[in-house]
Structure 1
Amino acid sequence: MRIGDTNPRRLLTKANGYLGAYDYTLNPYVGCVYACNYCYVRALPVARFHEGDWGSYVDVKHIDDAPFRHELNLARRRGSVNIFMSSSTDPYQPIEARVRRTRQILTVIAADPANIDFLFIQTRSPLVTDDAELIRSLGDKALVSMTIETDVEDVRRRFAPYAPPIETRLCALDSLRERGVRTQVAVAPLLPSSDQFADRLRQVTENVVIDDYFLGDGAQGRRSTGLHVADLYRPSELSEWYSREKIGELHRQFVEQFGCRHVFLSKNGFLPPKLRTGPRNA
């Protein structure tokens, strides 16, 4: 693993495409050691034109509090400030335990929460619990979306061998909820799972978003095809799970557990809650 440094001119990047409903994306790092085999970022310029294979490096962004506060102030004067953190890295990958860039960002935001409208925190790491009090201090202006794409460890090891085990993520969600942090689960992309998956998730959160390769990779499944994701499926799983129809079946299972008002599909579930549309069927 190569750890590098980078000194960006700004932290906030104008959002577009799949995340176009946000004003900005914010990535504390470049690269991601979790290196999930299905990750769409592998196909993006940020990965394709970086030296080294995706997952073999992390560049730590240098952050000064005063310029970041100024950046937030300028963004607020221009209009709304809805931030998605993070679009091309995990803000709580292992190096965060040492360098705390995400915590630094949260500390600046929490010192003047009027500068933002909403902060969406997308992660698959239990490290997020270290910042529970900071996130809770933002109230309804923050939401932690924890990726749990399956409840079967064998499947997790095939598709995301360097990501945290499922049980640690479930425990982290339970801890966040107990500490008053607003949460949801992102079953994204949906992977082969057990019949008890929805029930297990219902025990640790109230809301869930379901996504697949065909709706959620930003290119109607073409990026996932280019990454040869189908090769990771066992023959017995391929026809059932690598399918455009599977999301509808899983949606119905989750609605039975969570209720229709707490289950969201694809892009809709990654919007700020106030921008989400009502219940819909897959």
Structure 2
Amino acid sequence: MNTPLIREIQTKNILSKSNLPVCEYSANPYTGCTHGCRYCYASFMKRFTGHTEPWGTFLDVKTWTEISNPQKYAGKELFIGSVTDPYLPQEKHYKRTRALLEQLKGSGIKISIATKSDLILRDLDLLKTFPEARISWSVNTLDENFKNDMDNAVSIERRLAAMETFHQAGIRTTCFISPIFPELTDIKAIIRRAKKHCNLIWLENLNLRGDYKTVIMKYIQNSHPELLPLYQEIYDKGNRNYWEQLNMKLKKYAAKIGLDYATNNDNIKLPFEAPPVIVNYFYHEQIKKSAKKSGCTVFSD
């Protein structure tokens, strides 16, 4: 990977009111993401930053005035990492995510973090001080070669090991199987690997739009030409039969292995020791319609 273009920028507020239905506030200590995922929906952020460089090759490191009166956020939901990974390799040096957590420590805010990294292990003791903290790791394959084709983040094994460590420490964890590549993501194998180390298993299908649709379709054509007709049916013709059939198969599989299965539901509260619940987010259109009625905007893969 080439050295990314890095600059430090000043931002007025690090916490923003969120339109996401899963939280009241969001925070992104960085703009850009050096993981360089080929399928990244967050590349739309370039519209607002003035960057002309390819997504994945630049990073803006944010500084901000220290949060005043953090206690006013007690009981509120904060999602860290909606359009970047807060634990990029550069976080080891700049420590912007750690600075944010230190400023919010003792405030009573409820934190959710999404990452593809195990650098978050550095902050385990700090995160244990937050009530109802929840950490999710994106895992869409157990094949490290396919993973390397798709992103520059740490290995799948390192992500799963970090998830296990957090779960053993009593922090709620989510295995986010996303994005699911048709016929390439072995969902059942991932569930078998992760189910003892997480409280939730989210399923999200690969959505293709914008510039990265061409990138992924070209990858399929070159690396998996036998799947090209299927991907054309799904992503050029809009046929949803594959996802509907996969939904039914996974629902039956969940029942077979004794796990509950839900659709578009992030409000499941079970005892920590309970087996994980599988939550299917294949139906983005329904989520968007529901969010629109409630005045929310939803960003998804």
Shorter-normalised TM-score: what interval? 0.7 to 0.9
> CA 1:279–1:57 in 2, change beyond 3 Å: closer, same or farther?
closer
Q: Distance in 2 between matches of 1:11 and 1:258?
A: 42
Cα separation, partners in 2 of 1:280 and 1:268, compared to 1, 3 Å: closer
Alignment deviations for residues 79-107 of structure 1 (CA, whole Å, 9 cap, x no partner):
x6321111111000001111211111111
Separation in structure 1 between the aligned mates of residue 199 and residue 65 of structure 2, nearest angstrom? 36
Find the counterpart in structure 2 of residue 176 from structure 1: 166
Aligned residue type for 1:59:
D
1:205 maps to 198
TM-score (norm 2): 0.74
Q: Name the CA distance, whole Å, in 2 between partners of 1:182 and 1:2.
A: 35
Residue of structure 1 in register with 2:98 after alignment: 103
C-alpha deviation, 1:237, in angstroms: 3.7
1:163 to 142, 153, 159: 153
Please tell me whether residue 268 in structure 1 is matched to residue 265 in structure 2: yes
Q: Flag structure 2 segments of 5+ consecutive residues without an equivalent.
A: 235-239, 270-276, 283-301
Which SS does the other structure have where 1:20 is aligned? coil
Match of 1:83 in 2: 78
* Paired residue secondary structure (2:142): coil
Whole-angstrom CA distance in 1 between matches of 2:189 and 2:22:
33
1:139 counterpart letter in structure 2: P
Aligned 8 A contact 1:40 1:224 in 2: no
Q: Which residue number corresponds to residue 120 of structure 2?
A: 128
Q: Would you say the 8 A contact 1:35–1:55 is kept in 2?
A: yes
Distance in 2 of aligned mates of 1:22 and 1:207: 17
Q: Does 1:152 align with 2:147?
A: no
Counterparts of 2:15 and 2:202 in 1: how far apart (Å)?
A: 25
Q: Distance in 2 between matches of 1:4 and 1:166?
A: 29
Secondary structure (helix, strand or coil) at the match of 1:93 reads coil
Percent sequence identity over matched residues?
25
Equivalent residue letter for 2:29:
P
SS of equivalent to 1:139:
coil
Q: Which residue identity lines up with residue 209 of structure 1 in the other structure?
A: W
In structure 2, the CA distance between the partners of 1:150 and 1:63, relative to structure 1 (3 Å rule), is same
RMSD (Å) for aligned C-alpha atoms: 2.8
- Distance of aligned partners of 1:259 and 1:112 in 2 relative to their CA distance in 1, 3 Å threshold: same
Alignment coverage as a number of residue pairs: 255
User: Are residues 1:93 and 2:62 paired?
Assistant: no
Change (3 A) 1:154 1:37: same
Cα drift, residue 240 of structure 1: 5.7
CA distance in 1, matches of 2:279, 2:162: 29
Question: Using the alignment, how far apart are the partners of 2:226 and 2:166 within structure 1?
Answer: 36
Q: Is the 8 A contact 1:132 1:181 kept in 2?
A: no
TM alignment of 1:36-55, pairs within 5 A: 36-46=37-47, 49-55=50-56
Matches of 2:80 and 2:268 in 1, distance apart? Answer: 15
Aligned-pair distance for 1:226? 4.0
253 and 230 in structure 1: CA distance in 2 versus 1, 3 angstrom threshold: farther
Distance 1:45 1:55, change over 3 A: closer
CA deviation vs aligned residue, 1:155-213 (integer Å, no higher than 9, x gap): 212222x1111111111111111222211110111132345222111232232000013
Higher helix fraction: Structure 1 or Structure 2?
Answer: 1
SS of aligned partner of 1:87: coil
Distance in structure 1 (CA, Å) of the matches to 2:106 and 2:82: 24
Distance 1:198 1:123 in 2: 18
Tell me the TM-score normalised to structure 1 length.
Answer: 0.79
Q: Distance in 1 between matches of 2:48 and 2:141?
A: 25
Whole-Å Cα distance in 2 between the matches of residues 138 and 32 of structure 1? 26
Q: 2:177 aligns with which of 169, 187, 198?
A: 187
Q: Which of the two has higher C-alpha Rg? A: 2
